[in-house]
Amino acid sequence: MSNLAPTPDPQTAWQPWQSTESEPWDRRLAAHLFRRASFGASRAQLDEAVTSSPHECVDHLLNKCQDAETRAFDAEMTTMAAGLVAGEPQTLEPWWLYRMLFTPASLRERMTLFWHGHFATSAATVNNTSMMLAQNETLRQHALGHFEPLVQAVSRDPAMLTYLNSTTNARIHPNENYAREVMELFCLGVGNYTERDIQETARCFTGWEIRRKRFRFNKHQHDFGTKSLFHQTGKFDGDDAVRIILAQDAAPRFIARKLVNYFVCDHPVSDELVEPLARELRDNDFHIEPVVCRILTSRYFYSQAAVGQKIRSPVDLAIGLLRCLEGTVGTIALAAALQPLGQRVFFPPNVKGWEGGRKWINATTLIGRVNLVSKLLRNDHVRFADGSLTDYFQDSETSAKLVDTLAGLLLAVPLPDSARRELIRVAQFHKNKVARGASDVLCTLAALPEFQLG
């Protein structure tokens, strides 16, 4: 990942990107959009995307959240989930990976994954499949909606309160766990609240408890007294506390920054750069969808400072590879293959979620990533658009065409000339049928540093 990418101008970064003669809307940029906003795109999807504009592509991704195909798929996933409720939490991983792999509403699912990392909750601690499924559906329902209702829902979520050991919160001994995390990790960030704010917020949430795995307000344990929170005084409850917290100037900046780091770049971004997005959040009642749309159609998003400037997460790597190649795989095996790479969905490492960025890569996980690709591509049970990998690339007439097709589909940055020559040599080993070299080329491609960037 380059450290020399130009710093964007805050005044123009979020203006709409326009195709020009020198920087046209092409397959490279369309692949960039689908890599970040979805989980990748097939050759056919990219062919269709380049006949549209970035804004039309984003609109299509948003519209898929509500169409008939998605409603039918959601019903199928609900039926599948019902069969998991009595099972072990480990059954959740294959279920969600299947959803990511086949969902028609890929932007909504990507945002669900974003909120899962933001409101990190581990099934290892909660140890209740039904509660984790319910939380997952809450994140999906609010994925692109207004932030305040999402925070209110999470504040009542049995899985979250169980995870933070906040299933009881009595007026005599207020539990500060959730009060601290809702400010530090969920809404404001470190340095934007005081210990007194934590104590007073904890009082607001007294009486919020879990009974028989459901949220319950216990009026006998609620502190109905006067609280002072962020220079406001009143007989506040938990809903009031969330409203007051989100009214702080730091809140929209905090969420805007998280969205920029999720969609655009891994490196820290300044208050000045995120301020236009923070302002849009403030002015639109914390509505997430317009800000996501603005990011995904912006000059910054399609600039050198963004394209190829993120390290792919393990889930991005695996799901992205399969969706790009229209691959079908058993997700139980996929979940097992992902475990050593540092990202188990439903099992984040702690309440801070996954750090991401360069933390995804070390000597062990890099080897694991290459092995993951090899397992997927050399598994006879994996199908690619209802055929083998050889069938999928049967139209590749030459080794050079095969290499260029794969690089264009899977790489966010240009393939170095030396690497291209080596990949062509690998493909030429199968002289009688070029497409048979596809798995060897892909496995070699997966070992390149460029393959880790998205």
Return the domain boundaries, the chain. 146-233, 314-452
Please determine, for residue 409, whether its predicted confidence score (pLDDT) is greater than 80: yes
Please determine, for residue 433, whether its predicted confidence score (pLDDT) is greater than 80: no
pLDDT digits (tens, 9 = 90+) for 49-107: 999 999 999 999 999 998 999 999 999 999 999 999 989 999 999 999 999 999 999 99
Spell out the alpha helix ranges (H) of 176-266: 177-181, 195-204, 238-246, 250-263
In angstroms, the CA 182 to CA 303 distance is 34
HSE, side-chain direction, 13 A CA sphere, residue 314 = 29
Token pair, residue 223, equals 């502190």
Q: What is the mean pLDDT of the chain?
A: 94
Residue 431: its pLDDT value, please? 60
Which has the minimum average pLDDT: 237-246, 339-348, 424-433?
A: 424-433
Among the listed residues 256, 250, 150, 115, the one whose alpha carbon sits nearest the alpha carbon of residue 194: 250
In angstroms, the CA 98 to CA 329 distance is 9
pTM for the model: 0.96
370-403 burial, b at 16+ Cβ within 10 Å, e below that, comes to: bebbbbbbeeeebbbeeebbbebbeebeebbebb
Spell out the alpha helix ranges (H) of 288-338: 288-296, 314-324, 331-338
Residue 383: its pLDDT value, please? 85
Helix axes 363-377, 438-446, angle to 10 degrees: 170
Residues 6+ apart with CB under 8 A from 423: 403, 406, 407, 415, 441, 444, 445
Please determine, for residue 4, whether its predicted confidence score (pLDDT) is greater than 50: no
pLDDT digits (tens, 9 = 90+) for 280-291: 999 999 999 999
In angstroms, the CA 102 to CA 328 distance is 9
